[in-house]
């Protein structure tokens, strides 16, 4: 399996923290040298290990914000 390359370009904030110290974060992340996208997932404190998450384009993130603001 090919190694996945990532870079946390900008840390936006923490949504929650689990008992194990991992934090559910919103970040801008570049995956495999591609342009950074919004990313929501659990990370260990050193950003070396991660859980499953979701990656959103800028347009998708704006649509999500609009949906949440309208409900």
- In percent, the amount of the chain with pLDDT more than 90 equals 93
Instruction: Give the domain ranges of the chain.
Output: 6-69
Tens of pLDDT along 34-56? 999 999 999 999 999 999 999 99
User: How confident is the model at residue 2, as a pLDDT?
Assistant: 80
CATH 2.30.31.70 fits 6-69, yes or no: yes
User: How confident is the model at residue 71, as a pLDDT?
Assistant: 82
Q: Are 14 and 8 in contact (CB under 8 A)?
A: no
User: How confident is the model at residue 1, as a pLDDT?
Assistant: 74
Which residue has better confidence, 4 or 59? 59
Give the start-end residues of each E strand in the chain: 6-17, 23-31, 37-43, 50-56
Task: Record the pTM.
Answer: 0.89
């Amino acid at each position: 399996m090919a190694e996945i390359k990532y870079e946390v370009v900008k840390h936006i904030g923490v949504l929650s923290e689990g008992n194990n110290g991992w934090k559910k974060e919103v970040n801008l992340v570049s995956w495999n040298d591609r342009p950074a996208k919004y990313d929501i997932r659990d990370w260990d404190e050193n950003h070396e290990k991660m859980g499953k998450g979701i990656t959103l384009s800028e347009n998708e993130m704006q649509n999500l914000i609009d949906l949440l603001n309208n409900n």
